Amino acid sequence: MPRTEPATGAQLGPDGRLHHLITLEGLDRRLVETLLDFAADLRERCRAGARRLPLIEDRTIISLFYEPSTRTRVSFELAARRLGAQQVNFDVANSSVNKGENMSDTLATLEAMGCDAFVIRHGENGMPGNLAGLTRGATVINAGDGNHAHPTQGLLDLLTIRDRKGRIEGLNIVICGDIRHSRVARSDVHGLHTCGAARIHLCGPPELLPEPSGFPDCAIVEDFDSALDGADVVIMLRLQMERMQHLSGLNTDVYFRRYGLNSERLAHARPDALVMHPGPMNRGVEIAADVADGPQSAILDQVSNGIFVRMAVLVTLLGNSAYGHRV
Ligand code: CP
């Protein structure tokens, strides 16, 4: 059973401002909405032609990914470069980690080289939060830890919903799939509750549903069709086979028939329901290709928004208060 309640580390610095981003849990609504507004503002400036917004050009950011990633790693890199920062992708596989160096020594070594911020993905719940408590001033941003949290994914999902629905307040949300192993579900739920979503249904087969105590104020259900009734937003999640040794016999055809989102099933939701998926997607397992590529899909908007949300987070955590966005 995965652990879901690690220490998150203090997110605020001595000045009371946000210094690390480990989880959306406990962040207040004003802060979350300020980050979303800032991301939308940066997006507008980029789309108006700004190729580069050198708001943190004196900063050095190192990404340490102990688990695979396409979207998060590349969008943090693009965000940092667009903001003028020096950005380094630490090559875990070819580093002294393989000679037995532990993570805190690795971080201390990189911080001694002048690193201002670490972007960390790790398979173990709580690792970025624990490391945040060990740095000598450098910022830590959680790029996804175990099944605990993925705060920038949560923020980009909120921005995508707000863009397409005009609000988050009062919406009916369904999150379907492998909730038990999902850090995205946890960060989405924290952000959606903070921003006033009316109803959140978590749906999946019993073996992939979470302990209810970890999700107060959510309805946890097995029947996907009834959960979809009246849904404004449907967030599909990947089956995380790498985290479910005990379910290696899971039949993906049977799963798709019961929990895959196809166009007939989507018709149970509101006609203008938004379809989302954090990726990577398994077409024909969680979602039919025509739905993933269809007019209700916001999946590529999620990807695009990831760059602007990560720019907003980097400037908020590392930028000078003169930008007016340090909170
Ligand atoms: N959504 C997400 O975290 O994707 P990656 O694993 O590709 O970063």
35-44: per-residue pLDDT in tens?
999 999 999 9
Pocket of ligand 1 (CB under 6 A): 69-72, 144, 150, 153, 278-280
**Residue with the nearest Cα to atom 5 of ligand 1?**
69
Instruction: Tell me if 65 sits within 8 A of 121, measured CB to CB.
Output: yes
Centroid of ligand 1 to alpha carbon of 247 (angstroms): 22
The token duo for 70 is 């396409």
What mean pLDDT is predicted for residues 17-42?
A: 96
Instruction: Tell me if 46 sits within 8 A of 53, measured CB to CB.
Output: yes
pLDDT, tens digit (0-9, with 9 covering 90-100), for 172-207: 999 999 999 999 999 999 999 999 999 999 999 999
**Mutate which of 153, 235, 300, 304 to test ligand 1's pocket (most atoms within 8 Å of Cβ)?**
153
Mean pLDDT value across the chain: 92
Centroid of ligand 1 to alpha carbon of 68 (angstroms): 8
Crossing angle for the helix pair 183-194 and 29-47, to the nearest 10 degrees: 100
* Half-sphere exposure at residue 172, Cβ-oriented, CA atoms within 13 angstroms: 12
Strands (DSSP E) found in 27-92? 60-65, 86-90
In this predicted structure, what is the pLDDT of residue 16? 81
Bridge partners (DSSP) of residue 199 are 172
Bridge partners (DSSP) of residue 117 are 61, 139
- Render the burial of 179-198: b for 16+ CB within 10 Å, e for the rest: bbbbbbbbbbbbbbbbbebe
What SS3 class is residue 148?
A: coil
The token duo for 7 is 């220490």
Nearest to 305 by CA among 82, 70, 36: 36
Q: Which atom of ligand 1 is nearest to the CA of 143?
A: 3
Percentage of residues in the chain with pLDDT exceeding 70? 93
pLDDT, tens digit (0-9, with 9 covering 90-100), for 91-137: 998 899 889 999 999 999 999 999 999 999 999 999 999 999 999 99
Centroid of ligand 1 to alpha carbon of 76 (angstroms): 11
Q: Which atom of ligand 1 is nearest to the CA of 72?
A: 8
Q: Is the dihedral of CA 31, 34, 38, 44 positive or negative?
A: positive
In this predicted structure, what is the pLDDT of residue 221? 97
In this predicted structure, what is the pLDDT of residue 247? 59
What mean pLDDT is predicted for residues 29-38?
A: 96
Distance CA 21, CA 154 (A): 12
Nearest to 233 by CA among 296, 189, 300, 185: 296
Centroid of ligand 1 to alpha carbon of 279 (angstroms): 6
pLDDT tops 80 at residue 51: yes
